[in-house]
């Protein structure tokens, strides 16, 4: 099966070297005017000027998709989501709008704990239906690869149930990179005994998740009311020893030192960073840890402090953007909305935001060998935008500017 996508007024290839994009490189989208892309058996043969691509031998027998003057770009890589949560928290939302804080809502029985009760109690089929509907909405909004975390059950049966739902959904049709977020909050069974909970996760959960290949990453929520820096370190060191990649919810509400812990442990990413300071920015800039920013959660919570995106980019950190899709702080399917927030609220340029939502997201998931750009050998995952200039993407905010999402199977799964 060969497909030729032709007629792109702007083809955003995002071509470049194999490293995460930093500084000025974040503004280079590898734009080809009048571009085309040739995809064979799900893999990009080549993407570039139409006059060259259309002459390739395989293009002759190809099925054609006419972009008709639209922008064509790689599918979004949403590198931070809490996909499986059962049901939305609409009561929490209303309470917060009436003035209650995130902590007050949690104290009143809402928050992560209420999602925990919902997920524990739901049959896998029901969780799968919720996640499947969410994935369909993400696909319509242009996401083709996403990370998805467990962390709303916290007990053995529920976390394995969540991770198995993710394994079943992977590739149908979006590619899912699964993460174990056992250390989201301390569950009621271990109230007052966070260290015992960590010991249990390290001894009982992580080895079997690893053995069954149910997660590629392990994540921790390091914050007031969640896990301390020492607890996070111990938990992540266990995960690293078992061969997991590491991620940290870092400096979201309280400044904990988690960004520097991420750098020290060579985590794949440090996510959130709203409270990150100059030292954190410097450390991230000198590391290979991706600074993943989640402005959807700041927006939805009605807060004012966004992560210091400009300072991070100017210092040379590799910045990614993701939705943080979850029922408490960021119920959005839309990477497009995240890009609009990144531009308007964090002063990222449209080009930087697109880099952050594609190739740098792929680096945060360590799938940059197959996703995040339109280059030979990568998956044929691409978007046709209802736009003739890429800057329209963040500019027309709150709308779905994706005309078509093209998703081909991940080679590993086919
Ligand atoms: O990334 N901050 C911790 N975890 C999520 C929110 C989880 C929830 O409220 O359900 C986040 O914002
Ligand atoms: Fe999160």
What are 232-273's pLDDT values in tens digits? 999 999 999 999 999 999 999 999 999 999 999 999 999 999
Average pLDDT, stretch 371-393?
98
Query: What gap in Å lies between CA 252 and CA 301, rounded to an integer?
Result: 12
Is the C-beta atom of 149 inside 6 A of ligand 1? no
- Listed residue (59, 8, 22) closest to 312, CA to CA: 22
Q: Is the pLDDT of residue 102 over 80?
A: no
The predicted pLDDT at position 413 comes to: 55
Q: Which ligand approaches the C-alpha of residue 331 most closely?
A: 1
Mean pLDDT throughout 372-391? Answer: 98
As a whole number of angstroms, the distance between CA 262 and CA 173 comes to: 32
* Tokens 């904990």, located at residue: 256
pLDDT in tens, 288-340: 999 999 999 999 999 999 999 999 999 999 999 999 999 999 999 999 999 99
pLDDT band at 101, cuts 50/70/90? confident
Kindly state if the Cβ of 328 falls inside 6 Å of ligand 1.
yes
Residue 128 structure tokens: 């799968």
Mutation to probe ligand 1, out of 248, 326, 330 (largest number of atoms < 8 A from CB): 326
Q: Quote the pLDDT of residue 414.
A: 42
Q: Whose CA is nearest to atom 8 of ligand 1?
A: 328
Closest ligand 1 atom to Cα of 223 = 2
Q: Is residue 364 packed enough to be buried (19+ CB in 10 Å), middle (13-18) or exposed (0-12)? A: buried
Residue 292 CB less than 6 A away from ligand 1: no
Q: Over the stretch 134-160, which tens digit does the pLDDT of each residue have? A: 999 999 999 999 999 999 999 999 999
Mean predicted lDDT score pLDDT of the chain:
97
Atom of ligand 1 nearest to the CA of 252: 2
Q: pLDDT-based confidence at 231, cuts 50/70/90? A: very high
Which ligand 1 atom minimizes the distance to the CA of 102?
A: 9
CA of 123 to the centre of ligand 1 (A): 22
Q: What percent of the chain has pLDDT over 70?
A: 99
- Residue 42, pLDDT above cutoff 80: yes
Pocket of ligand 1 contains residue 112 by CB under 6 Å: yes
| 81 CB near ligand 1 (under 6 Å) | no
Q: Average pLDDT, stretch 268-281?
A: 98
Q: Is the CB of 329 under 6 A from ligand 1?
A: yes
Residue nearest to atom 10 of ligand 1 (CA): 328
CA nearest neighbour of 177 among 149, 142, 140 = 149
pLDDT digits (tens, 9 = 90+) for 19-38: 999 999 999 999 999 999 99
Q: How many Å lie between the centroid of ligand 1 and the Cα of residue 328?
A: 6
Query: 289, 285, 277: which is closest to 248 by C-alpha?
Result: 289
Determine contact, residues 169/207, Cβ cutoff 8 Å.
no
Residue with tokens 């690893």: 210
Residues near ion ligand 2 (CB < 5 Å) are: 324
Percent of the chain with pLDDT over 90: 96
- Helix spans in 28-152 (H): 50-53, 90-97, 102-107, 111-121, 124-140
Stretch 329-356: mean pLDDT:
98
DSSP 5-16: EEEEEEEE----
Tell if the pTM clears 0.75, that is, is over it.
Answer: yes
Pocket test for ligand 1, best of 79, 82, 108 (most atoms within 8 A of CB): 82
Expressed in angstroms and rounded, the spacing between residue 130 Cα and the centre of ligand 1 is 18
Ligand 1 neighbour 327 (Cβ under 6 A): yes
């Amino acid at each position: 099966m060969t497909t030729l996508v032709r007629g792109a007024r702007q083809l955003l290839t995002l071509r470049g070297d194999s490293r995460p994009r930093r500084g000025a490189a974040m503004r280079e989208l590898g734009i080809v005017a009048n571009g085309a892309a040739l995809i064979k058996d799900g893999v990009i043969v080549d993407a570039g000027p139409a006059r060259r691509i259309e002459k390739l031998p395989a293009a002759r027998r190809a099925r054609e998709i006419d972009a008709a003057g639209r922008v064509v770009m790689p599918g979004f890589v949403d590198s931070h989501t809490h996909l499986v949560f059962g049901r939305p928290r609409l009561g929490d939302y209303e309470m917060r709008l009436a003035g209650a804080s995130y902590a007050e809502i949690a104290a009143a029985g809402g928050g992560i704990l209420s999602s925990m009760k919902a997920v524990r109690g739901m049959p896998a089929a029901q969780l799968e239906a919720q996640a499947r509907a969410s994935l369909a909405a993400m696909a319509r909004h242009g996401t083709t690869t996403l990370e998805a975390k467990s962390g709303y059950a916290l007990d053995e049966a529920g976390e394995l149930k969540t991770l198995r739902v993710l394994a079943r959904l992977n590739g149908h049709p979006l590619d899912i990179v699964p993460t174990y977020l056992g250390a989201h909050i301390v569950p009621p069974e271990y109230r007052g005994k966070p260290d015992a909970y960590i010991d249990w996760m390290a001894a009982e959960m992580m080895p079997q998740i690893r053995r069954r290949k149910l997660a590629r990453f392990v994540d921790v929520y390091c914050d007031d009311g969640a896990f301390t820096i020492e607890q996070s370190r111990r938990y992540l060191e266990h995960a690293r020893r078992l061969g997991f990649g590491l991620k940290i919810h870092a400096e979201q509400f309280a400044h904990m030192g988690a960004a520097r812990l991420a750098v020290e442990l060579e985590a794949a990413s440090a996510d959130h960073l709203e409270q990150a300071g100059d030292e954190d920015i410097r450390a991230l800039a000198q590391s290979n840890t991706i600074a993943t920013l989640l402005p959807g959660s700041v927006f939805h919570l009605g807060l004012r402090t966004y992560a210091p995106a400009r300072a991070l980019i100017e210092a040379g950190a590799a910045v990614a953007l993701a939705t943080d899709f979850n029922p408490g702080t960021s119920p959005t399917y839309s990477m497009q909305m995240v890009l609009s927030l990144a531009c308007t609220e964090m002063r990222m340029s449209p080009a930087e935001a697109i880099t952050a939502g594609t190739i740098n997201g792929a680096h945060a998931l360590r799938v940059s060998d197959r996703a995040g750009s339109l280059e030979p050998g990568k998956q044929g995952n691409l978007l046709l935008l209802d736009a003739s200039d890429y800057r329209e993407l963040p500019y027309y905010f709150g709308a779905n500017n994706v005309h078509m999402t093209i998703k081909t199977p991940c080679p590993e799964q086919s």
